[in-house]
Amino acid sequence: MSTIVEKISAYSKPGYYEKFDYHWTMTIDLDRCTGCEACMVACQAENNIPIVGEERFAQSREIKWIRIERYWEGEYPNIKMGFIPMLCQQCDDAPCETACPVYATYHNQDGLNTQIYNRCIGTRTCAVYCPYEVRYFNWFTYTWDEPLEQQLNPDVSIREKGVMEKCTFCIQRIRTAKDNAKDDGRRRVRDGEVTPACVQSCPTEALVFGNSNDPEAKVTKMMNNPRGYTVLEELNTTPSIVYLTKVHS
Amino acid sequence: MAIVGSFAFEEDFLGAAKTLKASGFDKLSLLSPIPVEEAYEVIGLDKSRVRHFSLAGAIFGAIAGFALAVGTALVFILPTGGRAIISVPPYLIITYEMTILFGVLFTLLGFHFVSGLPAWRDRPYLDSAGIDRFVIVVEGVAADQATRAEAIFRDAGADEIQQVEDGQ
Amino acid sequence: MFDHGQPSYAEVNKDIISTMLETGPKYWMLLGGTMSVAGIFFFMPWIYQLFVGVGAAGMNHNAVWGSYLSNFIFWIGLSHSGTLLSAVLHITNSPWRKAVYRSAEAMTLFSLMTAALFVMVHVGRVWFVHWSFPIPNQMGLWPNFRSPLMFDVMAITTYLTASSIFIYMGSVPDFAAVRDASTGLRRRLYTIFSFGWRGTAREWHTLGWAYTFFAVFVIPLAVSVHSIVSWDFALSAVPGFHHTIFAPYFVCGAIYSGTAGIVTVMYCLRKFLGFSRYIGQVHLDSLGKLLIALSMIWTYINIVELFTTWYGGTSYELEALSFRLTGFYAPMYWEMILFCAFVPLLMLSKKIRWSWNKMLVVSILINIGMLTERFIIVATSQPRKFLPDSFGFYVPSWIEISITFGSFAIFATLFLIFIKWVPAISLYEVKETLKPLRRDA
């Protein structure tokens, strides 16, 4: 990638002109998921997600970076319910990233769709473009009543009103793990060293997280499971989350 | 010295202008309340030079627009959505808008250069030129030619003739 | 062209310039009224929203875009009136445009300003909105030119600049006429505004060429501006938005709503400034025929959209379509169809087309329909995207309704200020339609 000509020709092609350093991927085994929503609680605790209150929840303004979507089929007493945890899919061909006029969201070298809170001017175009509806807007500046503010995670910034937020794969934990690995003799982050809050708290280990650039990682093996699929595949967003479909009897 | 004469009718106006020009009075200004096509020929105006400014502006805008889009993308590479960093279709839209923007701005500049405006200093003028009279202003008239010029005006049917000293 | 006999050149000057120089108490009351309405209904709720957050409006997780954006699009659409009338009809040498184009261009400019205000009301952190402009800064950051909103920024900036220059340069000879008719401070101001214009052959020649070039630049610009605005929607993957017909649809709708706006403004000019001598049946008739044609194109595009969506049968698109036609907002959708597709057909009758009062009603109904149309597009496509669990619902709050109402007052205020500073009818172009000052005419 040295000469100008090589650079220009690389930049003119769609795609990423350099391979991702780490490619953080998650698999969600829908057969193991019980819909207990422990991941939602953990995410809220880890990422300083505001409690919006009953009134605003009724207005559909709650913020839940990971949510359990529930679908019912059939009539009582033959109801079947399916649920699927939905969080930011960290799409490699994200429709939201191209929409932001100020580069407040872009794809970083680890394959993450990052959201830069202090650059966001709140046009909310990314939320419209996202087919998974996983982007949440701060309609107000939310506050934490005493003593809840003592529970806030110091590694994660508080967002003010007018800023868009979404699941970051706990980028603060990834950052800490990379820093530790560097201090520990400039090695790479090992599989299992970084787990986002949701993965850590899932009681059935339905969520598996890791670096899919590492052929030995657990997540790489789970990804290649024949039960694997990506949500809204036909939209060509190439998400980084692979769902393992439920086994039906 | 300048001589200013006003006419109620277009034919008189144009006739006087042609006669004045033929008699050697070059510094003519033909004022009218609406544009008069034949007057352009008397002055010797064909295609305006404004068009060169417009073209230059459009070309400049096209280059500037594309350079702006590509340059700012390359300064700090932030990949978005797997699209190319130098993605031509969106940048063509930016180029298009800048072409028009600079085309318009350069045309404005061209208008100012070619028409000689703004000219806020006092120049010979009759208010009726903005209402319903056609006015001819002959500048650079020497004292001995004044009567000849005035005679041409009167013969053509001017209804008001004034002499304006230089600097007024 | 002239219903009550042709005026003389001097009468043209007197009639039009007197509307600028003579101001009665009714004008001041009207201006004060519109400014108060704008202040109370637009600015005060907006300031409240700046303190509290965009949540004061009715948008929620399912529909993050709401009436602010649909109003923005409505006002940009209204701005296409002046460009069509002024630029397109200039290139085609249309005589009936001459009396009405100056006010139409003013409408363009003020609609654009109102639309720009709506962008600022819409964004979450308006104090950083300057980051979307390519201004060198200490962070070394530039905006994302791949984003459709950046196309918007560039297009609207260009359109504002080009429209201002277009209307200003076209008014220079008229500023000179006002200068000649006034005294004191006003005379000095208009001397500056008119650049010392005398009306020499060289000045007219240059102005004619420059004006034609401005018109030639502005026409493709207007088409591109509304196409780009439509691409804010069409470049997403959202079912109700992602149609290729959006660009022609929006441009056609813009010209349509703009032309209806011109009819409304012409009615007001005739009534309040006494311009009935200059704006007559010919203008109304021509505008009416234009509106019929545009209404038919608009109806056709709607039918095409419905048909292709229905025939294609994608589940996402069908869901969005059925929500639009039979869901919560169905009454608004059908009202829009009634006002924009059926009501204009009344203009096929000469009796309607030649009556100022009836045309006023028709034009206002068309614009209400168009305002609804923008809202329907925004409010019924977002809540029905892809994942059914996220289907929802959006209702505008009182702040949004108040701000919508206040925006019309802002437009009216700007227009009222305009008619006192710039001749609302172009003097020299009207004189061109009169009998020429020739012995043999």
pLDDT digits (tens, 9 = 90+) for C122-136: 999 999 999 999 999
For B24-51, write each residue's pLDDT tens digit: 888 889 999 999 888 898 888 888 899 9
- For A72, phi then psi, to 5°, come to -105, 145
Residue owning tokens 């544009």: B35
- For C160, phi then psi, to 5°, come to -60, -50
C227 pLDDT exceeds 90? Answer: yes
| % of chain C exceeding 90 in pLDDT | 77
**Pairing between strand B2-7 and B160-164?**
antiparallel
Tell me the C-alpha to C-alpha distance, in Å, between residue C374 and each of C73, C80, C379: 7, 15, 9
Query: Which stretch, A18-22, B136-140, C225-229, has highest mean pLDDT?
Result: C225-229
Q: Is C413 among the domain residues?
A: yes
C27 pLDDT exceeds 70? Answer: yes
Enumerate the β-bridge partners of residue A114: A106
Q: What is the pLDDT of residue A249?
A: 63
Enumerate the β-bridge partners of residue A27: A208, A242
C387 pLDDT exceeds 70? Answer: yes
Length of chain A: 249
Alpha-carbon distance C248 to nearest alpha carbon in chain A (angstroms): 21
Q: What is the pLDDT of residue C189?
A: 93
Residue owning tokens 């009301």: C121
Q: What is the mean pLDDT of residues A119-142?
A: 94
- Bigger pLDDT: C296 vs C274: C296
Tell me the C-alpha to C-alpha distance, in Å, between residue C253 and each of A177, C73, C310: 55, 10, 22
DSSP string, chain A: --SHHHHHHHHTSSS-SS--SS-EEEEEETTT-----HHHHHHHHHTTPPP--HHHHHTT----SSEEEEEEES-TTS-EEEEEEE-----TT-HHHHH-TT-SEEE-TTS-EEE-GGG-----HHHHH-TT---EE-SS-----TTGGGG--TTSPPP-TT-EE---S-HHHHHHHHHHHHHTTS-PPPTTS---HHHHH-TT--EEEEETTSTTSHHHHHHT-TTEE-TTGGG----SEEEEPPPP-
* Cβ C165 vs Cβ C214: under 8 Å: yes
DSSP classification of residue C396: -
Q: What is the pLDDT of residue B159?
A: 86
* Cβ B27 vs Cβ B4: under 8 Å: no
Of the residues B72, B78, B88, B91, the best mutation for testing chain A's interface (the one with the most A CB atoms within 10 Å of its CB) is: B78
CA atoms of C279 and C275, how far apart (whole Å): 6
SS3 for chain B, per residue? CEEEEEECCHHHHHHHHHHHHHCCCCCEEEECCCCCHHHHHHHCCCCCCHHHHHHHHHHHHHHHHHHHHHHHHHHCCCCCCCCCCCCHHHHHHHHHHHHHHHHHHHHHHHHHHHHCCCCCCCCCCCHHHHCCCEEEEECCCCHHHHHHHHHHHHHHCCCEEEEECCCC
Dihedral angle over CA of A10, A13, A18, A20, nearest 10: 170
CATH assignment at residue A34: 3.30.70.20
ipTM of the predicted assembly exceeds 0.90:
yes
Total number of domains constituting chain A = 1
Locate C148 and state its tokens: 């459709």
Of the residues A4, A18, A107, A235, the best mutation for testing chain B's interface (the one with the most B CB atoms within 10 Å of its CB) is: A107
C203 pLDDT exceeds 70? Answer: yes
> Per the omega criterion (within 30 degrees of 0), is the bond before B90 cis?
no
Per-chain mean pLDDT for chain C: 92
CA atoms of A54 and A76, how far apart (whole Å): 30
Enumerate the β-bridge partners of residue B6: B135, B160
Could you tell me the pLDDT band of residue A74, with boundaries at 50, 70 and 90? Answer: confident
* Cβ B106 vs Cβ B57: under 8 Å: yes
Q: What is the mean pLDDT of residues C404-433?
A: 93
Residue contact C158–B100, C-beta within 8 A: yes
Q: What is the pLDDT of residue B121?
A: 82
Could you tell me the pLDDT band of residue B143, with boundaries at 50, 70 and 90? Answer: confident
Enumerate the β-bridge partners of residue B161: B5
Of the residues A6, A9, A12, A126, the best mutation for testing chain B's interface (the one with the most B CB atoms within 10 Å of its CB) is: A12
Q: What is the mean pLDDT of residues A149-173?
A: 94
CA angle C395, C245, C144 (to 5 degrees): 75
Q: Is A14 among the domain residues?
A: no
Length of chain B: 168
In this complex, the chains that touch B, judged by 3 or more CB pairs closer than 8 A, are A, C
DSSP classification of residue C437: S
What residues have CB less than 8 Å from C228, skipping those under 6 apart?
B93, C148, C151, C152, C155
C45 pLDDT exceeds 90? Answer: yes
Q: Which domain holds residue C415?
A: 9-131+144-433
Q: What is the mean pLDDT of residues C10-20?
A: 89
* C213 reaches B (C-beta below 8 A): yes
Domain chopping of chain B, boundaries: 2-33+132-164, 50-115
CA atoms of A186 and A191, how far apart (whole Å): 16
* Cβ B45 vs Cβ C202: under 8 Å: yes
Q: Which domain holds residue A165?
A: 19-244
CA atoms of A105 and A97, how far apart (whole Å): 5
Rg (CA), chain A: 19
CA atoms of C61 and A61, how far apart (whole Å): 6
Which of B14-30 are b and which e, b meaning 16 or more Cβ less than 10 Å from the residue's Cβ? bbbbeebeeeebeebbb
For B70-104, write each residue's pLDDT tens digit: 999 999 889 998 899 999 999 999 999 999 999 99
CA angle C111, C113, C118 (to 5 degrees): 95
- Of all residues in chain B, the one with the smallest CA distance to A101 is B80
Q: Is A231 among the domain residues?
A: yes
Q: Is A226 among the domain residues?
A: yes
* B67 reaches A (C-beta below 8 A): no
Sign of CA dihedral A100, A103, A104, A110: positive
For A228-238, write each residue's pLDDT tens digit: 999 999 999 99
What residues have CB less than 8 Å from A3, skipping those under 6 apart?
none
C316 pLDDT exceeds 70? Answer: yes
**Pairing between strand A164-165 and A136-137?**
antiparallel
Tell me the C-alpha to C-alpha distance, in Å, between residue B156 and each of B5, B143, B153, C435: 10, 21, 5, 22
Nearest to A21 by CA among A213, A152, A159: A213
A248 pLDDT exceeds 90? Answer: no
Per-chain mean pLDDT for chain B: 89
Query: Taking an 8 Å Cβ-Cβ cutoff, which residues of chain A contact chain B?
Result: 8, 11-17, 91-98, 100, 103, 105-107, 238
Q: What is the pLDDT of residue C88?
A: 83
- Of all residues in chain A, the one with the smallest CA distance to C391 is A133
* C432 reaches B (C-beta below 8 A): yes
Q: What is the pLDDT of residue C441?
A: 65
Q: Which amino acid is it at C98?
A: K
Please return the burial class of A151, using the count of CB atoms within 10 Å of its CB with bins 0-12, 13-18 and 19+: exposed
Q: What is the pLDDT of residue B167?
A: 61
Alpha-carbon distance B62 to nearest alpha carbon in chain A (angstroms): 19
Q: What is the mean pLDDT of residues B130-149?
A: 87
Locate B77 and state its tokens: 């590479």
* Cβ C237 vs Cβ A235: under 8 Å: yes
Sign of CA dihedral A227, A231, A234, A240: negative
Nearest to C408 by CA among C374, C373, C357, C364: C364
Q: Is C137 among the domain residues?
A: no
Residue contact C54–A122, C-beta within 8 A: yes
* Cβ C264 vs Cβ C364: under 8 Å: yes
Q: What is the mean pLDDT of residues C304-331?
A: 92
- Of all residues in chain B, the one with the smallest CA distance to A115 is B80
Q: Is A84 among the domain residues?
A: yes
Q: Is C31 among the domain residues?
A: yes
* Cβ A132 vs Cβ C386: under 8 Å: yes
Alpha-carbon distance C385 to nearest alpha carbon in chain A (angstroms): 7
Q: Which helix or strand (DSSP H or E) is residue C325 part of?
A: helix C315-326
* Cβ A161 vs Cβ C53: under 8 Å: yes
| CB-CB neighbours of C33 under 10 Å | 14
Nearest to B59 by CA among B103, B94, B107: B103
> Which CATH number is associated with domain B2-33+132-164?
3.30.70.120
- Of all residues in chain C, the one with the smallest CA distance to B35 is C204
pTM over 0.90: yes
Kindly list the residues from chain A whose CB atom is less than 8 angstroms away from the CB atom of residue C129. Answer: 121
Of C9, C201, C213, the CB nearest to B40: C201
Tell me the C-alpha to C-alpha distance, in Å, between residue A171 and each of A31, A66, A115, A136, A153: 27, 15, 10, 17, 13
- For A100, phi then psi, to 5°, come to -75, 125
Nearest to B90 by CA among C430, A160, C153: C153
Kindly list the residues from chain A whose CB atom is less than 8 angstroms away from the CB atom of residue C121. Answer: none
Of the residues A6, A16, A96, A98, the best mutation for testing chain B's interface (the one with the most B CB atoms within 10 Å of its CB) is: A98
Q: Which amino acid is it at C247?
A: A
Q: What is the pLDDT of residue C7?
A: 87
Q: What is the mean pLDDT of residues A145-166?
A: 92
Per-chain mean pLDDT for chain A: 92
Locate C78 and state its tokens: 């209204």
* A31 reaches C (C-beta below 8 A): no
B168 pLDDT exceeds 60? Answer: no
- Bigger pLDDT: C26 vs C91: C26
| % of chain C exceeding 70 in pLDDT | 100
SS3 for C159-210, per residue? HHHHHHHHHHHHHHHHHHHHHHHCCHHHHHHHHHHCCCCCCEHHHHHHHHHH
Terminal C-alpha separation, chain C: 17
For C99-130, write each residue's pLDDT tens digit: 888 999 999 999 999 999 999 999 999 999 99
Nearest to C304 by CA among C254, C243, C234: C243
Rg (CA), chain B: 25
Q: Is C439 among the domain residues?
A: no
Q: Is A1 among the domain residues?
A: no
